[in-house]
Each structure stands twice: as structure tokens, then as C-alpha cells.
Structure 1
Amino acid sequence: MVRPLRAALRIHTWGGFALALLLGASYAALPLFALLPHLWGFIAASAVSYVTDAWLHRVEPAFIRRLAGFRLDRIMRFLVRDALLLVLAVRMDAPEPVLVAGLLVLGGQFGILVLYTALHRVIHRKRRLPVAVRNMDMSDAGIPKAPPSLLVRRYLRRLLHLDLPMHAGLLVGLATSGWFFTKAGYAVSLVLPALLLLALAAQVRTARRMPEREEIIAALNRQLADYRPEVALYFSFAAVSRNFMYQVNMWIETLENLDRRPLIILRERASFSYLSRTRLPVVCVPRADDLAQLDLPELKVVLYPGNAGKNVHMLRVAEAKHVFIGHGDSDKLASSNRVSKVYDEIWVAGRAGRDRYQRIRHAIDDAAIVEVGRPQLAPIRPHAEHIPGPLPVVLYAPTWEGWSDDDCHTSLIPMGTDLVGALLDEGVRVLYKPHPLTGKRSAEAAAADRAIREMLDADNRRRQSVGTLPDLAAGPEQRMREINERLNELAGRNRTGDDAQQTRDARIPDHTGSDEWHALEAEWHHLFWSRTGPLRHQVITGQLPTLYECFNQADILISDVSSVVADFVASLKPYVLTNAHDLPDEEFRAAYTTAGGAYLLDRACTRLPEILRSVREPRHDPMALDRHTLKEYVLGPDRPTSMERFNTAVNTLADTALLHQQEQEQEQEQEQAPSGTLLIPALDANRADLS
């Protein structure tokens, strides 16, 4: 009964559930103590309500949002508590002037709150730019400085908590029958919000100096004219989750190594919070009308890592060639979608990707498919360089539940907990890395994810209690936090102010950040793995450690049909595909390309002990040869490198786009030229230049 209640209230931890119960109990007690009346009981309940409310905002923000959905938002909770305080004062026969003044202060506070909110929205609307940028110099756009964060950041929480002086003063007065502190509390609770309101009103005048939409677009176009981008990575994340930004981050380093000048175009303002470090210019343009105003005359190639409805806003650019690059090669239907036909070309890692699209008959022209490898896989260390630890390390990385049951490949629901239980029985070390979207659609997947985390935590505690697992090393924590802070700073995630302020402060970066970024990431990973040790199970959910670093730590991967498996093939280590529906091996391998080099695990996990022999006894690895064959089929040859092939594909397509553009210009000139004028030799000369 408790688990469904926690799920309904969106409470993720037992500590948060206890706090929620305390919050509910305190609010249930407030009217009781106000009517009795019982001063000290009211003081205790009021204090508990304040503390639990503030703490729940930190540890269970989803629960706080859920309360707002029940019409129990923060304003309502504060209003109820303050109103019950006045009821207590009436019941304790407080003087009428004290009661009237208290009512006036309470009304004044909430009146100021309404006016403050209105002014805040005026300023926010005035400062909302049509675009936001990174790594471009917008200093000439004339954007005024943002209001002080004291006035605009979490202003509602700040204003509501200014009822504390009134609250405390009246309670002191009721306890002592002396009203000096009551009057002082009333004055503070009314004057301070009024002063903040006046300060914010002064900022409205500054906000009115914001440049118009056309001026901002013109300033951005001046920057684009100086930079002259030739390649754009275009991305819009799905509304279900901002975690889709990993689809952009995985391509950043590849873009930075291109011969052509790249630009990143995003469509959601929240994207910047999830964008990794880059020295490339980044433009966020939420509205399609504003996107159409960008001046990109030299843009030749547009790359799309995901299929999203907003892609059509960029596909209208006829002068450029449009390429679907995806965010990984997998055997899922999404990796060979008929929608891909709208692009000029589809770039896949290897022959397997080409064959996957060819199975969609009469949909994708084979000439439109280009094999470019996977440049991102360079950090993955090969099997020959791997040094095993004292325990076999199993990376369990299930995929998510998909958009629908038809696209659900996750093993979490049918066999996840049984699989982890079997791994624990085998005495191996488990690294559990669920997909970032796990549990977003399916409550069953979310429940299985929680159960697995609890199982791994319980096994760690059990082994610690018997002395077979050392405690976590505490020394590196401070340094890891410092590294995280610096990484966030390099990525621009620590920037203060609104989008307008960040765009105002944006500048063209130097090229030294990349080396520092990689050095800090390497140091963080070293500290993380040395701190956890070679025996402890780990649940890995953040951006660090990276997926590929987990590959390097693992002896074997267990996963579902997903691009994770295709990437792991680059290591040539043993890997396992879950066969949750117990299909015959031949049928499963025929359906999924990456199964060609995989061990197949049945739903009951009866094959697990035999599969783990490939790690415990490396000579007993019958799928090793198949993995070598599969690697080239899925990811392409090792030479030329993936980066070289990808760069060549970009250059070739850019030249093709330029040629087609010149041909169109020649045709237009022919249509406009007087009869008898020949322009064909000029066209031939252009072709000769490109060759």
C-alpha cells in the first residue's frame, strides 16, 4: 500500500516519505491547536511545517510539484498557516488592535506578492530574447544587465518567508502578553516586502531598454556573417525529457575536428543546462519564424542526430544538404525509420546499418546511405588492453521502455530483478547503468529500476558487515566536487542570470578548454574508481562516469537491443543480449544484427553461469571470432579511421551542395538571359574547380 502511495505522490525516497508525513501531520495539527487553543502545540506544529516544507523542496521537488497539482501550492500553504495563526490569536483573546493589524499585515503581504509577481512577469517578458547563444560575441546587441538575483531568483520563496517576523512576533506576544515584539514583527514583515517591490519596480525601466526582436536577430546575423558556418548540427529534444541532449553531446568532439566550420542549432531554451563543453558557436532559436530569419548563406550540410517534428523547420533550407546521422546504430525499428526518406543522405556506421535500411523495401535509396563509422568510439579501450580485477565486472545497461509497448526492448520489466539476483548469486561485481529515460513511461520499469538499486545497495551493506567489502574512501570526495564544479564552469552550466544575461556575457572562447576538460575528466574517473574500489557494486546515473568509461571497466556487458551494444562491439569484449521472450536462438540472431557476436540470455537466466565462463576462463570464449567479424560489419573498417571517413563525407556532401547551388544559379541565369546566350562553359568550369 505504501509503495503505490509513494508513486502517486511522486516521492522517491523513504526519507522524503517520512518528511511528507510530517508535513501532512503538522498541517492537520495546526487547526486543532489553533481552536483548542494550545500555544506551544501550535508553535511546534508551525515549526515542523516550515522545516519540512523547506527540506522537501530540496529532496523531493517532484512531490512539491504534485502538491501544486492538488491546489496545495506554496502560497496556499503559507496562507493557511498565517490564517490559522490569527485564529489562534482570536481564541487566546489577543487585543483587537493586534488582530486588526495582523489582518492588515497579512493582506498587505499578499497584495505586495501579487504586484511583485506582475512586475516580475513584465521584466521576464521584456528580457525574453528570440535567440540565446554560446561562444559568440553579442556585446554590440545592447542588452542591458539583468536585475540582481536577489530580486528575481526564487523571489516567491523569499517573499513568503518574510512572514516569519510577523509569525514569531505574534507568538511571542501571545506567550508573554507583551506586544512590542509583535509590532516589530508586523513592521518588518510589511516594510521589507515593500522595499523589495520598490527595488523591482526600478528594474522595469531598465528592462524597457531591451533591444527589439529585429535588432537581436540582426546582431546575431552579423556574428554569423563573420563566422560563415558551413555545417550545422540541428537538434530539438522530445517533450518527454531534456535528457535527450546526450544525442548532441556525443557529436560535439566530432564536429570540433571537422575541416568545415560547424554551428550547433538548438530549439529549446532548457538545452543549455544539459549541453556539454564546446568551443563551437551555439544558437538556440525556439520559434520557427525566428529560425527562418537566420542568415546562413554558406551553410551546405545540416546534420540531424534525432527525428523530431521541428526538424521540418530546418529541412525547408533548400540550398543545404540534409543528413540523418542518428545517435547510435541499433537494431531497433527507430534506427531504420521510413521518416528518414526526407533527408538527402543517411549516414550509418557500417554495412549493418545499410542492410538495416534496405530491409525497408521501396523506402530508402541505397545511394543515399553512406558508411562513416562511429568517431565517438575512440575512447573505448580494446579487449587486449583490458586488465581484469579480482572479481568479474558485469556492466548491466538495459535500454528504456520505449514510446510504446511495440517498441519496448527493455529487459527490466520481464527479467531485470531476476537477472541482477542471479548475478549476485554468481559473486560478480555489478555496474548498473540504466537508460536516462528509464521509468518515464512505464511504472513497471520504474519499479524494477528501484528494486535493482535496492538489491545492489543491500548486497554492498551485507558484504561490508561481514568485512569482505571495505568502506568507501572519503579522501577524493572534495577533489571530485572541485572537478565537477570546474567541468560545469567549462560547459557553461554555472552561469548566472537569465538567457538575456548569458547572451550578453557570451564571448568567443579560446581553444585551451578542450585539453583541460579531458584532463579533468580523466582525473575524476581515476578518483571515482579508486574511491569505490574493485569490489563494490555501482549504480551509475549521472553524466560521469561516462558510458565508455564504464565499458573500459567492464569484463562483459549485458544489455538489450540498443545502440549501447553496437558501441560495445568496438571493444571486442564478450557481451550478452537478453532474450526476454525466449525466442529460438536462430530466430533471434536473424532478427537482430548485433546478436551475431552475442551470448544470448534466456528469461530465467539459466545460461548465465556458462556465459560467465567467457570471463572467468578467457580461453573458453566461443563467440570471440564472431565478435571480430561483426565489428567490421557493424562499425566499418579500422582504416581509414571513423573521424577521417566522417570528415570526408562532410566535405564531399558540402562540395555536392555547392555544385548543385551553382547549377541552379546557372539555370536561373539561362532563363533570364537573352535568347542565343550560352552559359554551359561556365558551368563546366565550376565542375572542373570542384574536381
Structure 2
Amino acid sequence: MTTAAPNTSRLGAWVASKTGGRITSTAIDVSALAALLLAAVGGSRLWALPPAVLAVGLLAWTWREGAASTSKAAVPRVLLLASAYLLGAVHGGVDLALAVGVALAGLAVLSETPMGFISRAAYPVTANLPGIGARPYRRPNTSRAVLVNGAAVLVVLVCAFIGNLGLIAAAVSAAALGLSLFTLWQGLGRVRARRTSERNLSKALTAYEPAFVVHWTAPAGTAYQVAMWLPYLERLGRKFFVLVRGEANFNEVAALTKAPVVLRTALEDMDSVVTPSMRAAFYVNTATKNNHLLRYTNLTHIQLNHGDSDKVPSHNPVFRMYDKNFVAGQAAIDRFAANGVKMPIEMFSVVGRPQVENVAVAAKPIASIANPRVLYAPTWAGFYADSNYSSLHVGYDIVKALVERGCSIVFRPHPYSNRNPALGRECERIQALLAEDRKANGRPHVFGKQAEVKMSVMDCFNASDAMVSDVSSVVADYLYSEKPFAMVAVSTPADTFTDEFPLGRASYVIDAHGGRVKGLDAILDDFLGADPLASTRQDIKKYYLGDIPPERYAQHFLDEASRYL
């Protein structure tokens, strides 16, 4: 098994962003101090212009960074307020009202540090749990207070520049301080409410009597992992709750289900959520924090995963930690064995992929469709070098070749694609190509928000006659439709592609190993024409997605899951 190596492009971007933030913050501090000195020794109010410009920059900075900017911008803003007072004293005499305005604005700015601390302590605990509350409460709006404080600093500087406007500075600063104090008071109330919820949590969950729990933790923006399973877990007809480990996950799941959602962040928090009625725990990824719940041996731990593919993560030895691994078909079981991951057969249950129950099966051969619609659904670069299967760097050439053959395109990249700047730029190139062709030739291309938000993956399947992807779980799901599909060989030469990725036997393999597409025309001739792999797809469909009657496809999963409840 290949040793995972960091994705250097993502690591470099992260380091650059952090370094850039520190440099910007330091530059603001130094500039503010310079402005202070200039204001003190300058012979004209024109010396107020540098700190005024800086104040505008700070206001934009705090608006962009929000609550996270409080510690970054507090010092330079206090220095700017000192600049304002010196401007008034040196160039217009001591103005008591201006001094009061400076003091009040300074107190408002300094209050941001405890405000941020209290806000972090006011995280939600539950949503939809009977006995605690139907709705999650929100954090206090610290970003609004930070923005108003920045505006107050700017107003004080302007008042000092013009002169004789100390009363305005005092009034605006008093309003800013009032909002900051209100936000602090609001935060303290929500911290008390959070503590009350925590004290009542174990009792409320026990009274609720859940039969199982869904444990989920993942980076923000990955709610699709749990969203694909929630409708089927709800169809089990048993009480359950979703246990999440971060506030971003909490907000995402609370918007997806009416089932209780519980946020617990630490290992020691687990005891309060494991109740006598619980029989099983379901997982949809292999996150490290899954271990925090796996240690409860009174539960049956079932790994669902969020897709089935021939990727390296799909045969990770970590799957051995779970009591049961629900897999789509025999291909998943064989994949572990083929890669040296020894697991007893009783650890597996073949349940199909219930999410494909409404995927339409091909009604006619692709050659009979005059202008077929092709779904291009590339994966992203992955977290590590050994799981980078994305074809987006050659996607433009493939999409252009399809358009030139009269195809219309549904373009749905992986949700993480824009997290990689290079892949994000490729997505923009493809969207620009499709927009230009749609305008010039009227082809009904679908992309952007329409394909990525308004349509589900299954909607995209049903809206297409064929698909191009790479090594991705969408390929196995698309297999259910029996429509032709092509896989782009990126990490492996095309002539050995099926050795590493057996699903390629049912696919038209596009050779892009080495960063350049080769032999595309011949592949597209078969892909959109005679389709010699049609019968192969039908055979491999059962191997990858289970030999399950279509009319009971999703019910088969429900029956198997119910056995452990």
C-alpha cells in the first residue's frame, strides 16, 4: 500500500494564507504606530490622512475576518484612537467630548477579546431533542459588534480631523460600546443556557429512548456524506439522533433532519450520550474521532461509508475496527482481500447502494441518440498524493471534444474541487466554454448552481445519456443505470488501469497519465457509438451493486440494518 504523502499544493496554499495573514496583521500594527507618531509631531491636520486611510483598511479587514479578527485588529485600532486624541489636542486644543469618545470607543474595542471568548463558550448543544428545545440557539453576533466598533474608530478620526465634533464622536462611541456590552450580556446568557442544556442532556436522551445513533465528524462543507444516508435511516422507523463533533457539522445537520442533533466535542463528553436503549451506531466516514464512540462495546458499530469506489481510502485497514461494514456488493469485499487487508467475511453485509433506487435504467442504446447529453463528474485532488485521481486538469480538452461532437454537457465537479485553486480554475474554464457554446449554438448545457445545488447527483444521472468521470464513487453508482461511462486514467497508465481499478473493465478508459489526453477520438467513437461494453456493464453491475431485485433494492438495506436494532 502506498504511503500517504501530503498534498504539497494544498499545504503550500495553507502556509501561504497563514503567513499572509500574519504579515498583514503586523503591517497594520506598524502602520498604526507610524500614524500615531506622525499625528503627534505633524504641523498640519493633513497628518490625519494616513491614520484615516488605515482606519478604512481596518474596517474592511474586520468586516472580512468577522469575529476571528478581534485579536488581530484590537491593538492597531486602539493606537488609531490615541492618534485621534492627539490630533485633537495638538491641532485644536483639548476637547473633553472628543476625549470621552476616544475612551468609549477604546473600551468597545477592548471588549472584543472577552466577547470572542464568551462567544466560543456559547456553542450549541442540541437541536430537536424533546425536553431541551426544538431549535438550536445561535451564538451572539460578534461580527456585527466588531464592524460597528471599526466604524466608531473611523468616525472618531474624522471628527478629530475636522475639529469641534467631539459630541458626535462621543455619541457614536457610546452606541458602539452599548452594542458591545449588549453582545457580551447576550453571550453570557447563552453560555448559561448551554450549561443548563448540558446538565439535562443525559436525562433528556435517556427519556427519548433512541435505538441508534449516527456519528459524524468531517470538515465543513461535507454534509453530503451524511445527507445521502439520513433519508434511509429515517425510513427505519426507529428513534435516533445524530451525534456531531464540531459546530459547523451541527449547523449543517440541523438543516437536514428533524431528528435530534447533539454536539459533543471531547472524548469525555461521550458518556452523557450513550443511553441504555441504544443498540447500534452508524458511521459514514472513517474519521479519527469515530474512535471516541467505538470504545463502547455494548453497541454494534456499523460503517456505511459515503460511497463505493476502487480508491485507496475504500480499502483502508481502519475498516477492521467496525463490527459490521455495510458494502454495496461483492466487489468491495474482494477489494480488501486484493489489497492485503484481511477481514473475516462475517464483518461484511452486502446491502447495495439504496441511494440509486430511483436511478433510471437506459431505455435505448447510446448510438440511437442523435445529440446525447453527457455528464462530466470529476472527483477532486484528495487530501493526500496517493488519492489524487482528479481528471480536471484535462477536463477542458475532454469536454471540448464532446461539445464538438454535438453533445450537451451536465458539469458537476466534486464539492471540494474549489478548495484546490488549480482545480477551481479548471472548473471556471469549463464553465466558460459551456456558457460560450450555449450562447453560440443553443445547446442546453447544465452547470454551476443548477447542476451542483439545484440538482442532486441522481438527478444528474437521470438527465444524462452517458458519463465521464475518473476514479470516484459516482462511477459505481452510475453503473446502476447501465448507461455507458468513461473513466479518465490519471494516476495509472491506461494499459494497466483495470489491474488497479477493476471497475474500469466496464468503462471506456481515457488515457491521461502524464497530464495529457491520448487517443481520445477512438475512445469517443465507441463510447458514443457501437458501445461494445454494454453487456459487460450489466454483468459487473451485480458484482459492484449487489444482486438485489430492483423492486426491493432500498428495502434490502432497511431489512439488514433493522437486524441490529
Scaled by the length of structure 2, what TM-score is found? Answer: 0.80
Alignment correspondent of 2:147: 157
Paired amino acid for 1:468: N
Identity of aligned residues (%): 24
1:56 offset after TM fit, Å? 7.1
Say if 2:411 and 2:446, in contact at 8 Å, map to a contact too.
Answer: no
Alignment correspondent of 1:468: 441
SS of residue paired to 2:223? helix
Alignment correspondent of 1:258: 236
Check 1:553–1:183 CA distance in 2 against 1; reply closer, same or farther (3 A cut).
Answer: same
Check 1:345–1:158 CA distance in 2 against 1; reply closer, same or farther (3 A cut).
Answer: same
Alignment correspondent of 1:681: none
Alignment correspondent of 1:449: 424
**1:360-509, aligned counterparts within 5 Å?**
360-361=339-340, 363-384=342-363, 391-413=371-393, 415-423=394-402, 425-426=404-405, 428-438=407-417, 440=419, 446-457=421-432, 460-461=435-436, 464=439, 467-469=440-442
Alignment correspondent of 1:475: none
- Are 1:166 and 2:156 matched, yes or no? yes
Alignment correspondent of 1:649: 560
Choose 1 or 2 for highest CA Rg: 1
SS of residue paired to 1:166? helix
Distance 2:243 2:221 in 1: 17
Distance 2:374 2:238 in 1: 41
Alignment correspondent of 1:305: 284
Paired amino acid for 1:75: A
1:7 offset after TM fit, Å? 9.6
Alignment correspondent of 2:535: 625
Check 1:267–1:76 CA distance in 2 against 1; reply closer, same or farther (3 A cut).
Answer: same
Paired amino acid for 1:597: A
Paired amino acid for 1:261: K
From 581, 592, 605, give the equivalent of 2:517: 605
SS of residue paired to 2:214? strand
Paired amino acid for 2:424: D
1:196 offset after TM fit, Å? 3.7
Alignment correspondent of 2:92: 95
Distance 1:44 1:424 in 2: 54
Distance 2:535 2:445 in 1: 30
Alignment correspondent of 1:121: 117
1:634 offset after TM fit, Å? 0.7
Paired amino acid for 1:403: F
From 210, 213, 226, give the equivalent of 1:232: 213
From 168, 171, 174, give the equivalent of 1:188: 171
Distance 2:401 2:343 in 1: 43
**1:211-230, aligned counterparts within 5 Å?**
212=195, 216-217=197-198, 219-230=200-211
Distance 1:649 1:243 in 2: 30
Check 1:46–1:615 CA distance in 2 against 1; reply closer, same or farther (3 A cut).
Answer: farther
Say if 1:395 and 1:433, in contact at 8 Å, map to a contact too.
Answer: yes
Check 1:41–1:429 CA distance in 2 against 1; reply closer, same or farther (3 A cut).
Answer: farther
- Are 1:273 and 2:256 matched, yes or no? no
SS of residue paired to 1:558? strand
1:335 offset after TM fit, Å? 0.9
1:538 offset after TM fit, Å? 4.2
Alignment correspondent of 1:637: 547
Alignment correspondent of 2:4: none
Say if 1:120 and 1:200, in contact at 8 Å, map to a contact too.
Answer: no
Say if 1:170 and 1:185, in contact at 8 Å, map to a contact too.
Answer: no
1:327 offset after TM fit, Å? 0.8
Say if 2:62 and 2:147, in contact at 8 Å, map to a contact too.
Answer: no
1:248 offset after TM fit, Å? 0.9
Distance 1:112 1:637 in 2: 66
Distance 1:224 1:230 in 2: 11
Q: 448-457 vs 324-333, which deviates more? A: 448-457
1:283-327: CA deviation from partner (whole Å, max 9, x where unpaired) = 222122221122421222211111122112211221221111111
SS of residue paired to 2:281? strand
1:235-288: CA deviation from partner (whole Å, max 9, x where unpaired) = 222xxx312332111100010111443332212222122225222222222122
Check 1:270–1:385 CA distance in 2 against 1; reply closer, same or farther (3 A cut).
Answer: farther
1:592-617: CA deviation from partner (whole Å, max 9, x where unpaired) = 12112110001243433344345754
Check 1:320–1:581 CA distance in 2 against 1; reply closer, same or farther (3 A cut).
Answer: closer
Paired amino acid for 1:230: A
Check 1:78–1:136 CA distance in 2 against 1; reply closer, same or farther (3 A cut).
Answer: same
1:75 offset after TM fit, Å? 3.4
Scaled by the length of structure 1, what TM-score is found? Answer: 0.67
Alignment correspondent of 2:226: 248
SS of residue paired to 2:232? helix
Distance 1:426 1:323 in 2: 46
**Higher normalized contact order (CA 8 Å, seq sep 6+, divided by chain length):** 1
Alignment correspondent of 1:16: none
Alignment correspondent of 2:21: none
Alignment correspondent of 1:135: 128
Say if 1:349 and 1:634, in contact at 8 Å, map to a contact too.
Answer: yes
Distance 1:338 1:274 in 2: 29
1:635 offset after TM fit, Å? 0.6
SS of residue paired to 1:278? coil
1:78 offset after TM fit, Å? 4.0
Q: 78-87 vs 41-50, which deviates more? A: 41-50
Distance 1:249 1:75 in 2: 40
- Are 1:336 and 2:319 matched, yes or no? no
SS of residue paired to 2:262? strand
1:54 offset after TM fit, Å? 5.8
Distance 1:271 1:32 in 2: 47
Distance 2:47 2:364 in 1: 67
Say if 1:432 and 1:540, in contact at 8 Å, map to a contact too.
Answer: no
Paired amino acid for 1:111: L
SS of residue paired to 1:653? coil
Alignment correspondent of 1:315: 294
Paired amino acid for 2:482: L
1:535-577: CA deviation from partner (whole Å, max 9, x where unpaired) = 4654778543322222222332221112111111122221111
RMSD (Å) for aligned C-alpha atoms: 4.2
Distance 2:492 2:138 in 1: 60
Alignment correspondent of 1:548: 458
1:448 offset after TM fit, Å? 3.7
SS of residue paired to 1:403? coil
Say if 2:35 and 2:50, in contact at 8 Å, map to a contact too.
Answer: no
Distance 1:430 1:342 in 2: 41
1:190 offset after TM fit, Å? 3.5
SS of residue paired to 1:242? coil
SS of residue paired to 1:244? coil
Unmatched tracts of structure 2, length 5 or more: 1-11, 19-27
1:358 offset after TM fit, Å? 2.5
